[in-house]
Amino acid sequence: MTTSRPTAAPPATVILSPHFDDAVLSLAGLIPALGSPVTVVTVHGGAPSPGHDVSWWDSTCGFSSAGEAHHARRAEDARACALLGAACVPLGHPDGPYQDGGVLHEIDTYLTALAPETRLLIPLSTNQPDHAKVRDRALHILSGLGRPLPLVYADLPYTGHLPEWGTPGADAALAKDVDFGVAYQDLDSRFVLQVAYELNLSDEQWAAKRAAVQCYASQLAPLAVDHGSVLARGGPLRAERVWALEERG
């Protein structure tokens, strides 16, 4: 007699994460509120070419080789997603310093295979060109498939540096701010944005998010160089925001 392993339920919610830490930094507090099962799909989750020189960023994070960094990052992501009860799926595109700059075609394959009713979240892409490539590729593919528009999440810590972040005036500020609002303004020129989820994390929610973020230990010190006290209780990760899109008439 043979037995078969149970088939995992297809995801009800998919979060497109440009890199291994983006979904957790941006949405760890809200993930329990999203339709489950939740899968985090890391677009730049592929291994670098063998023998590729280690990037400046990975060297700063303490790695001796590009392969070592990739192996560690996958393990960090698996631990963080497990804490949040989410599955993790890496696509095959290498991270920025190791990629060829081509089309992110694995997004096409993944989204085409998803059930049409799957809820999809994509990054706002505040000040991050590689995030914008993920966002715009997903929008292009969904349009071609005739699928519903995705939800858009504020990518943190980048959007979280807005002075009004976590306040009722966040959207109005993003609509005018020249430092942290350009990505929001770009989408706002094409779509109507309505807040679907907003969360100022409670102490309990913050403790759970902090534990998940700390799984990405290899990047926290260098991240603080660019973003200051990124894990401060009142820092840029303290609030999360997700918008629904509607076509402009």
Instruction: Give the tens place of pLDDT for each residue, 74-102.
Output: 999 999 999 999 999 999 998 877 877 78
- Please give the DSSP secondary-structure letter assigned to residue 242: E
Has residue 7 got a pLDDT over 70? no
Has residue 220 got a pLDDT over 80? yes
Has residue 2 got a pLDDT over 70? no
* Total domains, the chain: 1
In a domain, 6, yes or no: no
Pairing mode of beta strands 119-123, 13-17: parallel
Give the HSE-up count for residue 216: Cα atoms under 13 Å, Cβ half-sphere: 25
* Predicted local distance difference test score (pLDDT) of residue 1: 42
In a domain, 7, yes or no: no
Mean pLDDT on 135-147: 97
In a domain, 113, yes or no: yes
Domain containing 192 equals 13-247
Q: How far apart are CA 227 and CA 160, in angstroms?
A: 10
- Please give the DSSP secondary-structure letter assigned to residue 117: T
In a domain, 27, yes or no: yes
Q: Please, what is the angle between helix 66-84 and helix 203-213, to 10°?
A: 150
Mean pLDDT on 166-187: 98
In a domain, 140, yes or no: yes
Pairing mode of beta strands 239-247, 191-200: antiparallel
Has residue 52 got a pLDDT over 90? no
- The pairs formed by 98-103 with CB atoms below 8 angstroms and a separation of 24 or more are 98/48, 98/49, 98/52, 98/55, 98/66, 99/44, 103/137
In a domain, 57, yes or no: yes
Q: Say what the pTM is.
A: 0.94
In a domain, 226, yes or no: yes
Mean pLDDT on 191-214: 98
pLDDT, mean over the chain: 93
Find the CATH number of the domain harbouring 199: 3.40.50.10320
Q: How far apart are CA 155 and CA 125, in angstroms?
A: 6
In a domain, 221, yes or no: yes
